[in-house]
Structure 1
Amino acid sequence: MTDPAIFREYDIRGTYGRNLFDADAYAIGRAVAQALRARGGRRIAVGRDGRLSAPALEAALVDGLCDGGVDVVRIGVGPTPMLYYAEASIQQVDGGIQVTGSHNPRDDNGFKIVFFGSALFGADIGHIGVIAADMASAQRGGVAGEFGAGAPVACAFLAADIGGGDVVHRGAVEVQDVLPAYVARLVDGLLPGLWDKAGDLRIGWDAGNGAAGLAIEALTALLPGEHHLLFTQIDGHFPHHHPDPTVEANLADLRALVASRHLDFGVAFDGDADRIVVVDGRGRSILGDQLLALLAQDLLMDCPGAVILGDVKASQAVYDRIAALGGVPAMGPAGHSLIKSEMKVNGALLAGETSGHIFYKHRFYGFDDALYAAVRLMAAVARRGGSVADWFDELPVCFNTPELRFPVAADRKRAVVEEVAARIAAQGAQVNRMDGLRVSCADGWWLLRASNTQEMLVARAESTSEAGLAALVAQLDAELALSGVNRG
């Protein structure tokens, strides 16, 4: 039986061999096909990352899609943004699915889905889960075997859509190599007038053995400047370090490269390259919200007054910086799918999450692409001159915690947030309830929200002083204690 826990807020994710099996991928393929056909779609692009389970999951997914009556364009191994590019650029393609575990542990895997240029999240993901469960129940003991138990999947099952009644004719499969066109589109992020200046840059690139390796090799071969590459061989064992660049320990190799080669800066990517972290020439990591502040300055030179969107976890200094530069700062909920949706609502030309997702609508498509963000950073540095480190020094000094994540039972994580919110409101505090609660105080602000992907609470705090930060964290901990939670 398909485990409902794998259907998350903005993607589908589980652990292969524990609660995610090939048969689940088949059921998800059938469900996605039914949902796409219901919206008038008939053709979908499919890509995958380099995880060990990805080939089997992709094969089962494609079988399910075809048996569900849609044609499939397989684009092979590559970063998730390459799948988004394929969905946006291949004629008569109505949707896309990337088989990816993103930055999760190596045995995890899952699916990111887009229909007609929009990411599926929330109720749409839940709907896919309901249809997949129906498919699994209907096929249990039949040609597709026991769903959720790792049984073989039929390759040519033709049947009526559950609840639809119309006979589904098996879709066709074709293969397209979109990597060259995708890389060429990335290169367009560096305008011709900046090529000479960018030729002086010396940059390190850490692919982390993730899905972006081949794309990074092809991209850096075309870009001006001097490029030093780490771990571009795609390897689902992730032999050098885990592909989550927001964890400081995973930046050690890149930081050492930048120091030993005296590079201007380095860029590191997660397992499917939709997130980026920058290491400046002094070895300091620049996280997503800080990078957004730097990139905003460059964009506002071309687009004065543009709306620039950050997430609820972002530093207040980022919003203040955007406003000071003449932009219109906006805050959105955390989550890549939610940010993309919010960008369409408020017309933002640039957005960024603290986790490292950077979204360009200006001269691009509006989806999160870490490789494109790296190219636009190159362009910004070339136009501005000087170093990334000096540029970073211009941001206000803030004292903040990292993202604090601590386990809470599934039936308590949202209840705890609501309990704290009620007590804080009774105290007359200034609270933003967009995503959890963000509490503004004289010393700064603190955040508490339920994770959309794990059974955890997420917290963060920021102040202009160390003493202020300690006071904020103490307030947060006191509120958690009143709800029976200890961060540890």
Structure 2
Amino acid sequence: MRHRLPSSILREYDIRGTVGQSLSAPHAMAIGRAFGSIVRRGGGARVVVGRDGRLSSPMLEAALVDGLLGAGIDVVRIGVGPSPMLYHAERHLDVDGGIQVTGSHNPRDDNGFKMVLGHRPFFGSDITALAALSEQGDVESGAGRVSERAMLPDYVGRLAAADGLVPLRIAWDAGNGAAGPAIERLVRLLPGEHHLLFTDVDGNFPNHHPDPTEEANLADLKALVACERLDLGVAFDGDGDRIGAVDGEGRVIAGDQLLSILAGPVLRERPGAAIVADVKASGTLFDHIAELGGRPVMWKSGHSNIKTMMHEVGAPLAGEMSGHIFFGELGGHDDALYAAIQLIRAVGASGKTLAALRDAMPKVVATPELRFPVDEPRREAVVQEVLARLAADGAEVDRTDGARVTTADGWWLLRASNTQAMLTARAEARDQGALDRLVAAIDLQLALSGVSRIQ
């Protein structure tokens, strides 16, 4: 029963690859067999499985389930839905773990697996251990049983149970991803006026790619908000765990700006609580959390890293620039539909429009996340070289995740991607001149390490 999984699909936070190239049905079966063996050796017996709407997801889900059954695990299949529905099922059903078959926001032909075990993220060393178990063939054998459970009504019902919702006029763009049917059901239970885009699940993604962090993918949403003169618009990635938003003027509300808006109601209910944000987030966010009486915590990017830190500090709220928003009342999981509900609640409680809330934020200028490829062996090495030079220069550096450097002009960040052979950079300043100087500092450090200039 030995099966070697390609190293390229073993990511920090999940398992993900290109179907027909690095990811296949035998790989999925081996993943199920190894995960099931880990569950059984921990005293567990049942795993819930869901899938997104990608064309390859039925095939991969079937093979995964076969692997789990072969390890002696009983499987509860919940069918197509967003990843947060899988997390909801794992928390509320009598199961010991869960796996969502999903390619998230990746290209159409990609797919993969997000895993939870005992209500906690299964990532990093857990994934490494799973791959080793599979390669060694040290897996359990048995004959599990399959059952099916419809989770959509219960999941949506809990979303719609939020109090303090005011009637707003809202556009919702599901991007033909797995969140579509949940959104259709949800808006029927909400006050206000709701306009829907692309809620039919279609793994071809015929309208635009389901990644709301790319502004080009929000063009249809902006057009609808403008045409109907709506209060705001929200968009979702392929598996419904990342949110994008625009205000009534069609301006994008970034992930850290969303977190800033959501922090107010949370800290009124939980004074002094910790709120976690990733290292890419604006300095104005951390300042705002402190002004509200909260405890800002900067931590490493990556949803599993953020979830883990949330548990460590008891944070009721966390978020990333990528649009993942995490909620303590959901067990620390990220749920973009729940984030949309909380955004409606926060806007209503403020007595202002989303556009007015955005206007009231401190004025800064920032780059988008800048990505550029490097050879895999140089990915971490370049960051370490930069850190060494900065230390020699006596720079003010936060090493939480790469190098976040604070200067009189603002701050800049250089870090190694956890999922690709890439370096990522970002900078934020008080004005364009200061931003240009920060970007020049990044360029200089990259040039000193032999990396081509960021375009």
SS in 2 for 1:130: helix
Equivalence for 1:287: 254
- Distance (whole Å) between structure 2 residues aligned to residue 204 and residue 298 of structure 1: 23
Superposed displacement of residue 270, structure 1? 0.5
Q: Describe the superposition over 1:354-393 as per-residue Cα deviations: whole angstroms up to 9, x where unpaired.
A: 00000111x4332000000000111111222120000111
Give the alignment of 1:312-391 within 5 angstroms: 312-361=279-328, 363-391=329-357
Alignment of 1:28-427 (within 5 A): 28-91=31-94, 93-135=95-137, 162=138, 168-188=141-161, 190-191=162-163, 194-195=164-165, 198-199=166-167, 201-361=168-328, 363-427=329-393
Cα displacement (A) at 1:481: 0.5
Any idea what SS the aligned residue of 1:462 has?
Answer: strand
The answer for unaligned runs of 5 or more in structure 1 is 136-161
* 8 A Cα contact 1:27 1:133, kept in partner: no
> 1:452-467 maps to which residues of 2 (within 5 A)?
452-467=418-433
2:408 counterpart residue number: 442
Using structure 2 for the length normalisation, give the TM-score: 0.98
Q: Which residue of structure 2 aligns with residue 5 of structure 1?
A: 8
User: Greater CA deviation, 32-41 or 350-359?
Assistant: 32-41
Instruction: Return the alpha-carbon distance in structure 2 between the equivalents of residues 477 and 384 of structure 1.
Output: 41
For the residues of structure 2 that align with 1:58 and 1:439, how far apart are their CA atoms? Answer: 44
Q: Render the CA deviation track for 1:61-103: whole Å, top value 9, x for unaligned.
A: 0000110111110000000000000000002x01000000000
User: By how many angstroms is 1:38 displaced?
Assistant: 1.8
Counterpart-to-counterpart distance in 1, 2:103 and 2:430: 36
CA displacement 1:98-152 (0-9 Å, x = unmatched): 00000000000000000001001111111112223334xxxxxxxxxxxxxxxxx
Root mean square deviation of aligned Cα: 1.0
Scaled by the length of structure 1, what TM-score is found? 0.91
Aligned-pair distance for 1:294? 0.7
Deviation at 1:430, TM superposition (A): 1.1
* Separation (CA, whole Å) in 2 of partners of 1:375 and 1:472: 37
Name the SS of the counterpart of 2:31 in structure 1. helix
Alpha-carbon separation, structure 1, partners of 2:134 and 2:374: 28
User: Aligned letter for 1:344?
Assistant: H
Unmatched tracts of structure 2, length 5 or more: none
1:147-175 deviations in whole A, cap 9, x for unaligned? xxxxxxxxxxxxxxx2x6x6x22111100
Matched, 1:431 2:397: yes
- Distance (whole Å) between structure 2 residues aligned to residue 106 and residue 276 of structure 1: 19
Distance in 2, Cα, partners of 1:415 & 1:14: 25
Matched residue pairs, number?
451
Structure 1 residue matching 2:368: 3-state secondary structure: coil
